[in-house]
Amino acid sequence: MSTPSLHVSGLTFSYPDGSRALDGIDLAVAPGERVALLGPNGAGKTTLVLQLNGVLRATSGEVEIGGLAVGSQTLREIRRRVGIVFQDPDDQLFMPTVAEDVAFGPANFGLRGPDLDARAHAALATVDMTDHADCSPMHLSYGQRRRVALATVLACDPEVLVLDEPSSNLDPVARRELADVLLRLERTMLMVTHDLPYALQLCPRSIVLDRGQVVADGPTRELLSDGDLLARHRLELPYGFTLAVD
């Protein structure tokens, strides 16, 4: 079997006040797999994501990215392998032009010259934003900025792409445009979301986290069809939304 892109074993994390945010997390994500991470507010989803690139360090247990353990000696490579797209694109866009924003990450990892230009151009092409390379991010729509933020991460060629609430604040067209881009990507994806229809559209597998523990892990359609499971963990499909019968 191939090495998992993401492997978490016995992961626990407690904050300085003693509150335990993660309590024995075990999970594995195969290369190229798209997985939604679901759960109510306060379930530990963000805390788990911040373990993946070493922003937070586990109290006990281990995280591996492509077989490489997260640790003080591996942080630079881990942060290249794990790309996090934040919920607010303005947290990631700060350069005068779109092209400069997208080139910033790979330049920070040592890429230069024509190779850097080619990497940035390829990332913009992937998210259908090539024509906006010379624009200021401030002149783009919110949905366009969200796709540029994605391009800034893709330009670093991460093994694992983490998306934090990717559909939030998007109008229906921008939501569909982003989904089209994400469905074309051939890389491992972990999507943190409260948007259950978006999880169903993009991720064949879902993991439900609550009170710092994995409480369900399986096919997204199967989990979203379990009304009792959703109710127990404060998850809810939009009013009027029905799951299509296969």
Q: So where are the chain's domains?
A: 6-87+158-232
Tell me, what's the pLDDT at 142?
A: 95
Query: Would you say the pTM of this structure is higher than 0.85?
Result: yes
78-130 pLDDT, tens digit each? 999 999 999 999 999 999 999 999 999 999 988 899 999 999 999 999 999 99
Measured distance CA(59)–CA(154) in Å, rounded:
30
Q: What is the DSSP letter of 211?
A: T
pLDDT bin (cut points 50, 70, 90) of residue 241 is: confident
172-211 pLDDT, tens digit each? 999 999 999 999 999 999 999 999 999 999 999 999 999 9
Q: In what order do the strands lie in the sheet with 160-164?
A: 82-85, 160-164, 188-192, 34-38, 205-210, 213-219
Tell me, what's the pLDDT at 246?
A: 56
CA-based nearest residue to 83, from 167, 149, 27: 149
pLDDT bin (cut points 50, 70, 90) of residue 243 is: confident
Beta bridge partners of 189: 34, 161
Right CATH for 6-87+158-232 from 3.40.30.10, 1.25.40.20, 3.40.309.10, 3.40.50.300:
3.40.50.300
Cβ-contact 190, 176 below 8 angstroms: no
Write out 43-76 in H/E/C secondary structure: CCHHHHHHHHCCCCCCCEEEEEECCEECCCCCHH
Cβ neighbours, 10 Å, residue 72: 7
Query: Residues for the chain: how many in total?
Result: 246
Measured distance CA(159)–CA(189) in Å, rounded:
9
Tell me, what's the pLDDT at 175?
A: 95
Cβ-contact 40, 234 below 8 angstroms: yes
CA 177 from chain centre, in angstroms, equals 17
Q: Which helix (H) or strand (E) holds 223?
A: helix 220-224
Cα-flanking dihedrals φ and ψ of residue 185, to 5°? Answer: -75, 135
